[in-house]
Amino acid sequence: MKLVKNAAGRYVPVEINGLKSEPFRGVGAYKPKGKKAAPKISSCMDYPEDGNKIVPDLKTALIKAGIRDGITISTHHHFRNGDFIANRIFDIAAELGIKNLRWFPSAAFECHAPNIRHLDSGVIHHIEGSLNGSLGEYCSQGRMRGLGVLRSHGGRYQAIQDGEVHIDIAVIAAPTADPFGNANGVNGPSACGGLGFALADSQYADKVIVVTDNLVPFPCVPWQIQGNYVDYVVVMDKIGDPSKIVSGTTEITRSPDRLYIAELVAKFIKTAGIMRNGFSFQAGAGGTALAFAVELAKLMRKENIKARFVRGGSTKFLVEMLKEGLTDYILDGQTFDLEGVKSMRDNPNHVHTSPFTSYNYHGKGNFASMVDVVVLGATEVDLSFNANVVTHSDGRLLHGIGGWQNCLFSKCVILALPSFRDRIPVIVDEVTTLVGPGELIDVVITERGIAINPIREDLIDAVKNSDLPLKSIEELHREVIRICGKPQKPLLGDKIVAAVKWVDGTVLDSVKQVLKAQWGIKLPGAE
Amino acid sequence: MKLVKNAAGRYVPVEINGLKSEPFRGVGAYKPKGKKAAPKISSCMDYPEDGNKIVPDLKTALIKAGIRDGITISTHHHFRNGDFIANRIFDIAAELGIKNLRWFPSAAFECHAPNIRHLDSGVIHHIEGSLNGSLGEYCSQGRMRGLGVLRSHGGRYQAIQDGEVHIDIAVIAAPTADPFGNANGVNGPSACGGLGFALADSQYADKVIVVTDNLVPFPCVPWQIQGNYVDYVVVMDKIGDPSKIVSGTTEITRSPDRLYIAELVAKFIKTAGIMRNGFSFQAGAGGTALAFAVELAKLMRKENIKARFVRGGSTKFLVEMLKEGLTDYILDGQTFDLEGVKSMRDNPNHVHTSPFTSYNYHGKGNFASMVDVVVLGATEVDLSFNANVVTHSDGRLLHGIGGWQNCLFSKCVILALPSFRDRIPVIVDEVTTLVGPGELIDVVITERGIAINPIREDLIDAVKNSDLPLKSIEELHREVIRICGKPQKPLLGDKIVAAVKWVDGTVLDSVKQVLKAQWGIKLPGAE
């Protein structure tokens, strides 16, 4: 595999799974050429006049949609670890003797580990999409036939829109749908909130199959997925496990260190003058992020400050802020609990967004760069403020990128992190895998203090006279090394097992095979 | 100009304004080949990170968007006869010395008559879009440099989507917008309801300008037009005359004949068994259509029947049905009065639709064919049930097609018409211009009786034992001729002045120049 050194100093392949790829050229340096992907023109003459696109089962739909060797099939992670559909697709493909499929999920979870047997047997050639847990481990072990390709939510939209990834068949699991294919995620027993991750697939795939366990008469309102893009509708008894789709409860961290980090983040945002009337913020659904949102809400209440919008992943904590009037809007790409689902269904100010509106870098702007402050996690951050979210320090690929890269365009990017985990430093001299270029990461907040990126002189000025525990990243790093010792380098082979894309489709870094001594989870079929 | 005889027996040009065109081949007979139009790939690097796309004025926006000779500029008719923007665009073009523009409005109204001077001077080369009033007359007189091209709402979406019409600059007048370009029609002093007619333009035009007189901070919710497609935002004092945008009041006909027709239509629908629980209907906003809706609502109330959905153009009468629970949903392409606007804004069951969802024939189905019954008007209908909506019997081109052609795919198409107007027969031996093929028109209902298309044996069976005044179309025709006499043929020249497209982009008919003896309105510049 031919590698070149890209603008971030990382060696990346010039060809990925048989397609030429463009090395990363720097943030905002790669100008796309050419035109968007152009789907085939359809005609109503080929679709039922009564709008009824129901076929008996998923197998029939896949056959009608032209399932065959070597094509690309996409799925979506709206059901997270409760999805029943993706496994069913590849079981059917195996039954039909199909080989060499490219599986293009928006993300794969532990519930999809049974597909390892289809990877081993060659039904699935390789996966392009966020890989969590066992499938990430499988890729790390170098056992996947093709390269894993990791894209952000926005990068996935961009790749489809720009024609980098052509989807032959998109299968969209939908909590509610009508026979025409209009679908949403806010109603039905498997309600998950929005269906935005499937938007690009519906718009650009050759054939689109909607699978639901809650069929309603036309029209299914709202239509987050528009039936005018849909070819077939399949009704099943159960498309997912509701208890694993949304958690029902979202837990705030109880760790004193994490709670302290959350407080520091909120305090930093206030002190830096970011928390002012009409501001906006985004935080994820991790325990620290939730604690941060609660802390910030306290400060907002105290100072009588109101946000214009907050970005979801929503949870009951954001929903409460909306109800209380602490924000005008929640702009929400995915709901993380049942309160979020309910609020998106019932409150017109809890607005469903998509990777197109929020994250697509090859649009005429997107929402991410308008957010005043975003609070993110990472597996590692280094002395140049470069950060990693996909591999652990042992090199194992265990997480997807999600919207993380896209959020780096926020006006202030804060990484809220413990300085070490399980005595392994999180602050390192150089990240194992580069996922976020340091120039976009403004502040690192740990239990040991706050490091501001030196390029953000404005932020340094804004907080310099405060009582915030400011330190340099080097200081933080030295403290961590004093405690944990210098960590061992991961045991990596030379083989490239995955590529990390930047938001513009260029290749930011590559992920190397993890040598057997460091294999984590015992996977089926591994010697 | 080379003409060929198409499948409807009409002579149509094989080239329109320099582009090859496809003659009509029959309903459902033309299979589109090829791919959708592919817009250039944009990049966030070329757009302001803070999302603020505001430029000082429309002239600046047009210059930045690259206005130049020979390009296509699109506008929309959401403001109907109260629009201030389209005239301003071409005044600016004239100031800048630009020539040979193609104006591509979704419809032009009497308020746009001042653009005749720009047509005369060559600033505008020709108009492609629905032509009402003076601009239609101007085209009829043979004074426009290029051919008028009349498309239905769905046909306009199809033409843009399929790349038949490439828009260089789309100007979208929006009652409310944010600096990013998100826009809607439900809020603000110029509220008009939806902005669906501009959807295709926003998706496919090279450059998109949003013009508003009600700027709100990001996010403008709902975003009927997505800012991710928008290049520039212009704020003006006044973008339209609210009193002419929506009428404020919608009047039911007081003509005893029209009221009788409306009653007959409602009675036919009931008698034919179409009015049953879960059914759907569509009617326009003319006086007869309104009266029909009121009559049907009475019958529904009496029989305890509830519709699943009604299609707008909405008026207070449909809004009342929704409130009363006589229908689950209004699916609405445009609101015709203020009650409609308010309902679309406040009632989640009053849903904004677009020509893509409702009418695009080159989609994977659309809503129109799912509607149980549609009640339409026409200027003429002939013995083969062919109908005309664009020209009068004197040949003058005075109306656009709107969604009329698209609605012909409804399960039952009823034309509700007076049998003559001003002593000119509406039922004729052959329509002046073919806009709707007779095979799609099921029933003609006049004050003199009801004629069912013989191909609809099912409908004939369903009502045969009723007391409805059933007649053949020939009988109706004979009665009308007895009263009015045989009408004179219009005085038409040989010159083709406009082409009528079918929903699939093929050419259904052509419109000939009207000779001077028959010119109607006195237009500026005419000798």
pLDDT single digits (tens) B32-48: 999 999 999 999 999 99
**Which A residues, 122 through 151, put their C-beta within 8 Å of a C-beta on chain B?**
none
Q: What single DSSP character describes residue B24?
A: P
The Cα-based distances of A267 to A324, A469, B58 in angstroms read: 21, 11, 44
Is the ipTM higher than 0.90? The answer is: yes
Query: Which residues on chain B are in Cβ contact (under 8 Å) with A164?
Result: none
Give Cβ neighbours of residue A422 (< 8 Å, ≥ 6 apart).
Answer: none
**How is domain A256-484 classified at the CATH fold level?**
Glutaconate Coenzyme A-transferase (3.40.1080)
Taking a C-beta distance cutoff of 8 angstroms, is the pair B369, B410 a contact?
yes
Subunit contact B45:A34, Cβ cutoff 8 A: no
Subunit contact A219:B40, Cβ cutoff 8 A: no
Instruction: Indicate if the pLDDT at residue B521 is higher than 80.
Output: no
pLDDT single digits (tens) B247-286: 766 788 889 999 999 999 999 999 999 999 999 999 977 8
Taking a C-beta distance cutoff of 8 angstroms, is the pair A497, A139 a contact?
yes
pLDDT of amino acid B527: 46
pLDDT single digits (tens) B61-91: 999 999 999 999 999 999 999 999 999 999 9
For the domain spanning B51-128+165-245, the CATH number is 3.40.1080.10
If you write DSSP's letter for every residue of B48-76 in order, what string do you get? -TT---EES-HHHHHHHTT--TT-EEEE-
Query: Which residues on chain A are in Cβ contact (under 8 Å) with B48?
Result: 365
In this prediction, residues B360-374 reach a mean pLDDT of: 98
Residue B25, chain A, CB below 8 Å: the answer is no
In this prediction, residues A232-254 reach a mean pLDDT of: 87
pLDDT of amino acid A519: 80
CA distance A179 to B369: 14
Instruction: Indicate if the pLDDT at residue A9 is higher than 50.
Output: yes
Report residue A379 CA to chain centroid gap. Answer: 15
Instruction: Indicate if the pLDDT at residue A523 is higher than 90.
Output: no
Residue B161, chain A, CB below 8 Å: the answer is yes
pLDDT single digits (tens) B323-366: 999 999 999 999 999 999 999 999 999 999 999 999 999 999 99
CA distance A396 to A515: 10
Bridge-based pairing state of the strands B373-376 and B280-283:
parallel
Q: Where are the domains of chain B?
A: 51-128+165-245, 256-484
- For an interface test with A, give the residue of B41, B204, B233 to mutate (most A CBs within 10 A): B41
Subunit contact B363:A33, Cβ cutoff 8 A: no
Amino acid at B410: S
Instruction: Indicate if the pLDDT at residue A477 is higher than 60.
Output: yes
For the domain spanning A50-244, the CATH number is 3.40.1080.10
Most distant CA pair in chain B: distance in Å? 72
Instruction: Indicate if the pLDDT at residue B519 is higher than 90.
Output: no
| Domains A50-244 and A256-484 belong to one CATH topology | yes
Residue of B nearest to A161 (CA): B41
Of A115, A200, A199, nearest in space to A164 by CA: A200
Residue A3, chain B, CB below 8 Å: the answer is no
Query: Which residues on chain A are in Cβ contact (under 8 Å) with B329?
Result: 219, 221
The sign one gets for the Cα dihedral B131, B132, B138, B140 is positive
Of B160, B151, B155, B159, nearest in space to B203 by CA: B160
Of A369, A373, A411, A501, nearest in space to B44 by CA: A369
Residue B47, chain A, CB below 8 Å: the answer is yes
In this prediction, residues A484-513 reach a mean pLDDT of: 95
CA distance A109 to A376: 20
**Which A residues, 287 through 316, put their C-beta within 8 Å of a C-beta on chain B?**
308-309
If you write DSSP's letter for every residue of B303-355 in order, what string do you get? HT--EEEEE-SB-HHHHHHHHHTSEEEEEES-B-SHHHHHHHHH-TTEEE--H
pLDDT single digits (tens) B216-252: 999 999 999 999 999 999 999 999 998 888 876 678 8
Residue of B nearest to A51 (CA): B370
